């Protein structure tokens, strides 16, 4: 009887550990990136106070409409069309890597030479 109880406890422990391991493996898998192979396009648009923003399209569908500088306070857009274009391209690379929604820090904006 003692051997049966010991065997039962051992089996319960093994199944519990296996169940926890399976759950952890499932939780650590990143979600699939539905935009990894999408065809991206961007369009420079007008923004408040004579500034510029951008629209980003994925497979022809509008994905992002950005009229202000992301990650920065205020409603004004980029001072130049080139700055808006550079930011749009940078955002597209983030989306392709699976970052959704894509975020941008002031440091990243300086790195891609959008903040002067």
Neighbour count for residue 6 (Cβ, 10 Å): 10
Residue 17 CA to residue 19 CA, distance in Å, equals 5
Read off the pLDDT of residues 20-59 as tens digits, 9 standing for 90 and up: 655 555 566 666 788 888 999 999 999 999 999 999 999 9
Q: Is residue 116 part of a domain?
A: no
Instruction: Based on the fold, state whether residues 26 and 61 are members of the same structural domain.
Output: no
Instruction: Based on the fold, state whether residues 26 and 50 are members of the same structural domain.
Output: no
pTM check: above 0.95? no
Residue 20 CA to residue 88 CA, distance in Å, equals 42
Instruction: Based on the fold, state whether residues 68 and 12 are members of the same structural domain.
Output: no
Nearest Cα to 59, choosing from 84, 86, 34?
34
Number of domains forming the structure of the chain: 2
By the 8 A CB rule, do 12 and 18 touch?
no
Instruction: Based on the fold, state whether residues 52 and 93 are members of the same structural domain.
Output: yes
Q: Is residue 88 part of a domain?
A: yes
* Three-point CA angle 77, 50, 65, nearest 5°: 40
Read off the pLDDT of residues 54-109 as tens digits, 9 standing for 90 and up: 999 999 999 999 999 999 999 999 999 999 999 999 999 999 999 999 999 999 99
Range of the domain at 63: 40-111
């Amino acid at each position: 009887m003692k051997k049966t109880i010991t065997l039962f406890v051992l089996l319960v422990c093994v199944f519990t550990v296996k169940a926890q391991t399976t759950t952890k493996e499932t939780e650590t898998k990143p979600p699939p990136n539905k935009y990894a192979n999408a065809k991206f396009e961007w369009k420079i648009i007008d923004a408040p106070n004579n500034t510029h923003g951008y629209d980003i399209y994925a497979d022809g569908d509008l994905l992002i409409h950005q009229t202000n500088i992301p990650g920065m306070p205020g409603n004004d857009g980029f001072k130049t069309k080139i700055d808006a274009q550079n930011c749009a391209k940078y955002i597209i690379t983030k989306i392709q890597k699976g970052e959704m929604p894509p975020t941008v820090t002031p440091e990243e904006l300086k790195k891609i030479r959008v903040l002067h």
